[in-house]
Structure formats: structure tokens, C-alpha cells
Structure 1
Amino acid sequence: MPYSFYEDDHTAFRRTVRSLVERSVTPHLEEWEEARLIDRSVWKAAAAAGVLGLRVPERFGGAGAGDYRFRCVIQEELAEVGAAALASGFSINEDIVASYLVGFGTDEQQERWLPGMAAGEAVASIAMTEPGGGSDLRGIRTTARREGTDWVLNGAETFITSGSSSDLVIVAARTGEAAGRSRLSLFLVPSTAPGFQRGRKLRKLGLHAQDTAELYFDDVRLPPEALLGEEGAGFGQLTAQLPLERLSIAWRAVVAAEAAVRWTVTYTRERRVFGRRLADFQNTRFRLAELTTEVEVTRGYLERCVLDLNEGTLDAVTGAKAKWWATELQNRVVAACLQLHGGYGYMDEYRISRAYADARVQTLVGGTTEIMKEIIGRDLAGPKPGGDT
């Protein structure tokens, strides 16, 4: 029996997602790019179609679906139309913030935030990148100190996806030290909290429709129930969620690469050069053969990772492998596809141009390629002498 990654339920779900994309996404891509902001109406439309809140328990208005393949379908359909910015925003909401709330939130915290997220009424983001900090979570300088029973938050974060429009931000902050290392804790910070300030909306190379901003916290007073999970457990919570976060980025990468190859095959069949179709030149056929093979081999690895995630066995090292390889592949493939488009590939009216710019951030977000290799390398090297890791 041939291997099939998807089942009948996923096929039926794809029809729903495709209808949503045709109705509520594709017609608005240009205006979102120009406005550098995705209209909130698409979040509500996605929720009404059952495309949001997949990981949210049913009692909070979600689907309660633990099968990540449904999220894979969504990312494929968004990639096909070049909606990378929306795919990124949905991933932050669904794969990251919702997962943190489901995994570590109290009943009260879940009741407050998950219904709105599942309904498309609340957009969420996560803040754990600081100016000058990059991928170094242990170097976070944002602090939260106790003042009576409350917490007082101070600091700044940057490169925050949905930063200028989110209603909720999960913030990583230092809450002391232990054994010479910072103790991190996570806090649920509503955008309406006094002292919460949004900085400038950042202008970027790609993902123009995705609002990315700086955030500032100036004596933001938070009640005790704003603490997500246990005090000092933040680093462990972040680490526990990284396999899913990095697989999410990797899957967006491979489906974007697949879409770019499909667009390019269509283009080369139609484009005529020196009286022949571009696809009739051996160089074109060989290049497309290489790209198709690389993408299919990578997809096979990622499909195994998705199934491992569903079974709860995906580990951080495998997630790091998937993330660096798939995102580097995406950049290589999209660049090659743009080259095959010739001068037209440089024009914004061709999707490959936007895909080229959108792809570049993929090797940076969620931990750079170099950080991924360091994680894998440390695992291969084993413990240092004396038992230190």
C-alpha cells in the first residue's frame, strides 16, 4: 500500500482551507502588503471556517485537534498563494502562544484568552528577543520584580511578530538568579496594561504584510495570575516548546519551496526563448529536476518529524535539524526559481519575487542556522569532562 501522509479528514479540511484562502486571503494580499498590516477580518473569517483554534480545547471554542497535519494543510494552502506573512502570524497564534497556554496555563488563564484566540478576536505574540540579544535566551535583560503580590515588568523587546496589533504578549523576563544564571519566568501581558508601549513598526526586507514591532515595558504592573506556569521555569518552558516552534518554521519553509517550484515549472512551460519553451532547454530541466528532488527528500524527513510530534517524541535536536536544513533549502530553491524566471522574477507582480524576500528571514527566526548547528553539535560531542553539558 503506497505511503500517504494525509488521510480523508485532512483532504476534506483542505477543501475548507482552500475556500477560505480564495475568498478571504488572495483578494487582499496586495492591500495588506501596501498597508504593512493584515486586516483583522481575516482572523475572524478563519475562525468561522474552523481554521483557527485547532489546538485549543473544545470547551474553549477550539477544535481540540492534536494532529499537527491539519496545521500542515493550512500552511500548504497559504504558501501556494504566497501568503507567507499571514502564515507566520497564524503560526505564532496557533503553534506558539496557544501551545504555551494549553501546556502551562491555569484554567483561569485559559478561560480568559483561548476563547478569543479561537474566535479570531484576540491576536497574540511572544516577546523573547531583545535589542542586542538575538538568540541568547540566557542573556535576557527584561526584568520582573515582586512588589507586594504584584509583579512589575521593565524592559524592551524587538522583532515581535504581530507586535503592533496583538492583544496579548507572552513576555520572557528575569526574576532573579540561581547558581549564577538568570531565572526566567513567562508572563501574560495584555496590550491594555498601563506602561505597555508599542514602538515603531519595523520596516523589513520581506513579509511586509506582517506587522513587526518593538515593545517597551515601563513599570507594567501585573497581578499574580499573570505569571504563566511556575516562577523561574521560563527557560524550561521555552525549551519544551522549541521542537514544535522549529518544526512549524521548517514546514513553512518546505511548502514555500514546493510552491516556488510549481510556479516555476508552469512559467518555464509557458515562457518562450529563442523560439523554444524555456522548459525545453536541458539546463532548465536539469535544474528543475534537482530542485524537485531536494524538496521531496526534505519533505519526507519533515513528514516523519510531524508524525513524531503527534506521538510526543519529537526532540529538540531533531527539531533543530529540521529547522536549519529546511530554511536553508527554502532560500536555495527560491533563489534558483527566481533565476529561472529571468528579469520577470525581479518584478513584484510575480509571486517568486515576494517569495524570495519573504524567505530570507527563515534562517534567522526561531534560532539562527548557526545556533541550530551548535545544538546538534553539542549533542554529538556529548558531555564535557566533569559531567558539565
Structure 2
Amino acid sequence: MARFTAEHQLFRQTVREFVEKEINPYADEWEAAGTFPAHELFRKAGSLGLLGVEYDPAYGGGGADHWYTVVLGEELGRADCGGVPMAINVQTDMATPALAKHGSHELKKAYLEPALRGELVASIAVTEPDAGSDVASIKTTARRDGDEYVISGSKIYITNGTQADFLTLLARTSPEAGYRGMSLIIVPTDRPGFRVARKLRKLGNHSSDTAELVFDDVRVPVTNRIGEEGQGFYLQMEQFQKERLIAVYTALGGLQRAMERTAAYLRERKAFGGPLLGMQYIQYTLAELQVEIESLRQLAYAAAEGVVAGENVTRLATMAKFKAGRLVRRVADTCLQFHGGAGYMEEMWTSRYFRDSRLLGIGGGADEVMLRVLVKTEGLEV
């Protein structure tokens, strides 16, 4: 069981106030617009120290323990939309972990430091039209030409894609070397040859801008590479663990708030001579879902403890990501059902939560990919 200190709880209050003041009042507006002002919001988050809680203070990070990341995710999950928390998570735990851990001092000064202040918006560019869950199949290339890489290809489903100032891009630097021939490269989006091909329309997470990106002989310095050439696949797999954990922590916050809001509605809604919450079937269903949420929480916290201890948490993180992807769908469906006709209306939060929650079982590794990993970790291969 986690032991949150008084300092953790003060940080929790800071994040909750940020969500309630800087996100929730504008959620409807941003959802309708299909985007949110990332630079403006990220600067506010950066000023509160929310964008790099575990990173080196030398570059503007908080130097805190992993439980602060748990708190951050849980509280962002209580936002009135899923898109903005996801965009923040990209900045904190998807596009910057490899840069923070393996990037050169110069690269961190140029990109990580302003990203932690919220002055630069970051994005992670891995998925391609023909390579989603199968990361080893990416085709975007980064050809060496003297002291530069010349990047050609395309990426799709890129969160923060229309607003990003730089991308952490996975590309092939040695096409003949398979997954050992990939590198992670920082690509500024102001370089000639880069363009946003289109902004994508999605089922949910409307406030988050998602894009298809094209690279037409984009030149960047070789010094923009993170780590050694050919190590990109491994560094991205490492980043995926961060991505999956922050997604789970954020899901926990959303799950708990959804249950709280549903119970409050059912307590007030009268039908068949009394409040709906008085019906035994509804009570039992909600009680069972709380058991599932608490099970996920304990699994996630066990993974967090492993992170703090410096252990390999691939197994626990994968289990938690899989369970979270399934559970949010079940909870979202139940909450909508128990709100009846009102729950199906756009004006009710249940409709947005139902749409937004569907992504968790796809993004950051689909449910089936998580199961494939677990087949290996559990020794179930033939």
C-alpha cells in the first residue's frame, strides 16, 4: 500500500486546483473547438512544477519520487475531458522520458528545459499508417548526410501534432538492421520539409489535437539524436513503460470520479418510489465495480513501488494497462446506463466519458499487445 506523505497531499491539492481552475471551466469550449491552447496552459502547468516532477532539477525538474507522478495522473484524471490530460501526459511521460534520461546536456538545455517550463510543446512520433502496435515495422527513415540526418516518411495519430514545437521521432537510421537499426531523434517542427498533413477527427478526446505528419527530406543535426545510433527501439520500449503507467494513474482518477458522480446522481434521481441508488441491483453493481477499481489501484501501486525500488516493472505495468483498458469501458458503459436517457445526451458528462475512455484499450499498446507481452512474461509460449 502506498504511503503518501503530507508533501504528496499538498501536491495533490495543487494539481486538483489546477484542474478545477485551468481545465474544467474551459473543457466544453475546447471540446467544441477540437483543440486547446497548449502553449498557454502548459506555461501555467510549468509554473506550478507539474511538467517534470521526477526530472533533474538542473533542467527545471522537480527531482521528486515516483509517487508524485502517481498523484499527478490521478488528479489529471478528474478533469471534465480526457483530451487535455492526455496532452499533458504526452508532455510529461511520453515525449520526454528518453530525452531526460539519455539525451546530451546540450539537447536537454535546448528542448527539455523549455518543455518543463511549458514554453515548448512536445509530441511523440512513433505510429505510422502501416505500423501501429508493430513498432518494429516503421518505415520513416533518417539518412545520414555528413553532420545531419535527412528524414523522410510520415507519422499518424500524433497527439499534440498540430501544436508541437518539437517531436521525439523514431526513425530508421540503418534500414537493413531491423529493430536494431532505429534511433530516437529530436525534430523541431519549424524545419523545412515538415508539415502537418491533416488534423484528424476522432470518436472522443476532441479537445486533444491529433495529426498526420509528413517529413519530406527534413534535415536535423546528428547531435539531435538521443543516445546511441541504433538504440531507438530499446529507448522507445522504455518510454512505453512510462506512457502506460501514467495512462493507468490517470484512468484511476477518472474511474473514481465517474463512480462518485454516478452515485450522487442515483441518490437524487427518484424512480419506483425512491432513489435509484436504493435498488439492490444498482448497489451491488457499483460495489462490484469499486472492487475492480481497487484491484487496479493496488496493481498500479505495486508497479509504482517497483519503480521507486528501481525494479523492472514491465509485467506489472502491462497487467495494469490491460486491466485499465478493459475496466474503463465497463465503468463508462455502466455509468451511462444508470443515467438512462439523460446519460446518452451530449450535455451529460457520461456521453463524453464513454467516448474518451475507449482510447485506453488502443493507445500506448492495444489490449492485444498487452496480452502478447503477458504471454511471454507468464511463460505461456509454446
Q: Above 0.5 in TM-score?
A: yes
Alignment map for 1:201-212 (pairs within 5 Å) = 201-212=199-210
The one-letter code sitting in structure 1 at the alignment partner of 2:271 is: V
Q: Deviations over 1:283-307 (max 9, x none)?
A: 1111111111111121111111111
Question: How far off is 1:274 after superposition?
Answer: 2.3
Q: Unpaired segments of 5 or more residues in structure 1?
A: 385-389
User: 1:51 matched to which residue of 2?
Assistant: 50
1:308 aligned residue (286, 306, 309):
306
Question: How far off is 1:204 after superposition?
Answer: 0.4
User: 2:352 matched to which residue of 1?
Assistant: 354
TM, length-normalised to structure 1: 0.94
Question: How far off is 1:223 after superposition?
Answer: 1.1
Superposition misfits of 4+ residues, deviation over 6 angstroms: none
Question: How far off is 1:179 after superposition?
Answer: 5.8
Question: How far off is 1:239 after superposition?
Answer: 1.7
- Work out whether residues 243 and 316 of structure 1, in 8 Å CA contact, stay in contact via their aligned partners in 2: yes
User: 1:41 matched to which residue of 2?
Assistant: 40
The CA RMSD measured in Å over matched residues stands at: 1.6
Alignment map for 1:66-215 (pairs within 5 Å) = 67-177=65-175, 183-215=181-213
Q: Deviations over 1:180-235 (max 9, x none)?
A: 65611111000111111112110100000000000110000111111111111111
SS at match of 1:160: strand
The one-letter code sitting in structure 2 at the alignment partner of 1:259 is: R
TM, length-normalised to structure 2: 0.95
- Work out whether residues 55 and 98 of structure 1, in 8 Å CA contact, stay in contact via their aligned partners in 2: no
SS at match of 2:214: strand
Residues 182/105 of structure 1: CA separation in 2 closer, same or farther (3 Å cut): closer
User: 1:242 matched to which residue of 2?
Assistant: 240
Q: Does 1:292 align with 2:290?
A: yes
Q: Is 21-30 or 206-215 further displaced after alignment?
A: 21-30
| CA distance, structure 1, for counterparts of residue 160 and residue 10 of structure 2 | 30
The one-letter code sitting in structure 1 at the alignment partner of 2:149 is: W
- Work out whether residues 157 and 214 of structure 1, in 8 Å CA contact, stay in contact via their aligned partners in 2: yes
The one-letter code sitting in structure 2 at the alignment partner of 1:59 is: A
- Work out whether residues 257 and 333 of structure 1, in 8 Å CA contact, stay in contact via their aligned partners in 2: yes
| CA distance, structure 2, for counterparts of residue 289 and residue 224 of structure 1 | 55
How many pairs does the alignment contain? 381
Residues 105/22 of structure 1: CA separation in 2 closer, same or farther (3 Å cut): same
- Work out whether residues 97 and 242 of structure 2, in 8 Å CA contact, stay in contact via their aligned partners in 1: no
| CA distance, structure 2, for counterparts of residue 22 and residue 240 of structure 1 | 32
| CA distance, structure 1, for counterparts of residue 98 and residue 47 of structure 2 | 23
1:276 aligned residue (274, 279, 282):
274
| CA distance, structure 1, for counterparts of residue 109 and residue 92 of structure 2 | 16
Q: Is 71-80 or 149-158 further displaced after alignment?
A: 71-80
| CA distance, structure 1, for counterparts of residue 379 and residue 19 of structure 2 | 46
Q: Does 1:265 align with 2:301?
A: no
2:335 aligned residue (331, 334, 337):
337
SS at match of 2:174: strand
Question: How far off is 1:55 after superposition?
Answer: 2.8
Q: Unpaired segments of 5 or more residues in structure 2?
A: none
